[in-house]
Amino acid sequence: MRTTDPDDSAGFVAAVRSGDEAAFGALTEPYRRQLHVHCYRMLGSFDEAEDLVQETLLRAWRGRAGFEGRSMVRTWLYRIATNACLDHLESAQRRLQSLESPQAAGSNAVDWLQPYPDRLLDQVASSDSEPDAVVIAKETIELAYLAAIQYLPPRQRAVLILRDALGWSAKEAANLLDESVASVNSALHRARSLMRKRLPKHLREEVRLTMPPYPTWFQGRDEIAKVFALATNPNLPTYQGQFRTVATAANMQPAVAAYVRRPGDSEYRALGLDVLRLEGDLVIEITRFVNADLFATFGLPPTI
């Protein structure tokens, strides 16, 4: 039975600082999904975001004696999560082309990019602990946005997320990052400028298919139709089998889960996930994840 009440601020903070695990859980658990979305934006990987949430909570537990209750719990946890992500990015030493390079303009090249199930994003949207409409603003969770921000230097990325995705003020972001307001504003200006080059206002006319983590990409309706034909035409040596699809959603975009029944098999087995970007009624971009392990994350069965 819990002996501390979150509404009793002084007593609750004292209980957390003294090592009351129940009080610590009650303090941090309402923010777990928000922290996961935040780490996901920073990293572009659903799996790595989960690891970083665990690291965030571990750091928070170890540093609980320093939490005095003067700042919001959310601010305290976001500070820890952001720094944990920055440390991870520094140790990972990921290397991408500059946003200004021709290679970056042609393909995503973010081979660790993973989709995020809408059913989990809905948990953030339905939370009443914070005004989370800003937290999951559609344009800041789409795959195109997430792929683009991976090209930004980590601290610029953090500033952009704090300011544009979360709606924090320059002063709040500066306090979290232990930087000056002028430094934060300068980083935000550079990040926005680079993002404008990566995410033009006018969408491309031709549909594009990318397949993270592979560098392969296809441009144009006819070329992509040929790709589909290679897998579905039984008269071709590249034939994979009969396909069935299940509608789902990822990153606040429609998605299709593909199952395949290969020759000689009696079941349709999980194959991959296509996340669709639409303009009106037309598909303008397909991001294909050929990874059956993703199906469990989306609450989908391995076979149908």
202 found inside a domain: no
Task: From 93, 124, 140, give the residue that closes a domain.
Answer: 93
pLDDT confidence bin for 94, thresholds 50/70/90: low
Higher pLDDT, 132 or 94: 94
Distance, in Å, from the CA atom of 67 to the CA atom of 145, rounded to the nearest integer, reads 34
Asked if the model's pLDDT at residue 106 lies above 60, the reply is no
136 found inside a domain: no
Task: From 93, 116, 145, give the residue that closes a domain.
Answer: 93
Q: Which of 303, 219, 287, 206 is closest to 250 using CA atoms?
A: 287
**Enclosing domain of residue 269:** 208-297
Asked if the model's pLDDT at residue 180 lies above 50, the reply is yes
Burial 154-186 (b: 16+ CB within 10 A, else e): bbbbbbbbbbbbbebebebbbbbbebeeebbbe
CB-CB neighbours of 222 under 10 Å? 10
Describe the strand order of the beta sheet including 253-261 as a list of residue ranges: 214-219, 208-211, 282-289, 269-279, 253-261, 242-250
pLDDT confidence bin for 201, thresholds 50/70/90: very low
99 found inside a domain: no
Higher pLDDT, 157 or 110: 157
**What integer pLDDT is reported at residue 128 of this predicted model?**
45
Distance, in Å, from the CA atom of 8 to the CA atom of 290, rounded to the nearest integer, reads 50
Distance, in Å, from the CA atom of 95 to the CA atom of 188, rounded to the nearest integer, reads 21
pLDDT confidence bin for 214, thresholds 50/70/90: confident
133 found inside a domain: no
Is the CB of residue 166 less than 8 Å from the CB of residue 136?
A: no
Q: Which two tokens stand for residue 281?
A: 């009624």
DSSP state of 270: E
176 found inside a domain: no
Distance, in Å, from the CA atom of 103 to the CA atom of 149, rounded to the nearest integer, reads 15
Q: Identify the CATH number of the domain in which residue 47 sits.
A: 1.10.1740.10
Q: Across residues 49-69, what is the average pLDDT?
A: 91
Burial bucket for residue 131 (CB in 10 Å: 0-12, 13-18, 19+): exposed
Total number of domains constituting the chain: 2
Q: Identify the CATH number of the domain in which residue 220 sits.
A: 3.10.450
Q: What pTM was computed for the model?
A: 0.74
169 found inside a domain: no
Q: Across residues 31-50, what is the average pLDDT?
A: 95
Asked if the model's pLDDT at residue 197 lies above 90, the reply is no
Q: Across residues 132-158, what is the average pLDDT?
A: 78
Cα distances (angstroms) measured from residue 180 to each of 11, 82, 165, 223: 34, 17, 20, 50
80 found inside a domain: yes
**What integer pLDDT is reported at residue 202 of this predicted model?**
35
Task: From 63, 93, 123, give the residue that closes a domain.
Answer: 93
Interval 64-91: pLDDT, tens: 888 877 668 889 999 999 999 999 998 8
pLDDT confidence bin for 200, thresholds 50/70/90: low
Asked if the model's pLDDT at residue 249 lies above 70, the reply is yes
Cα distances (angstroms) measured from residue 23 to each of 33, 64, 72, 98, 229: 18, 11, 16, 45, 57
Cα distances (angstroms) measured from residue 257 to each of 53, 146, 214, 265, 268: 27, 21, 19, 19, 12
125 found inside a domain: no
- Find the angle CA(279)-CA(282)-CA(285) to the nearest 5 degrees: 75
What three-state secondary structure class fits 150?
coil
Asked if the model's pLDDT at residue 154 lies above 90, the reply is yes
Distance, in Å, from the CA atom of 263 to the CA atom of 244, rounded to the nearest integer, reads 14
Report, in angstroms and rounded to the nearest whole number, the Rg of the chain calculated over CA atoms. 22
Interval 250-303: pLDDT, tens: 999 999 999 999 999 999 999 999 999 888 767 889 999 999 999 999 999 999
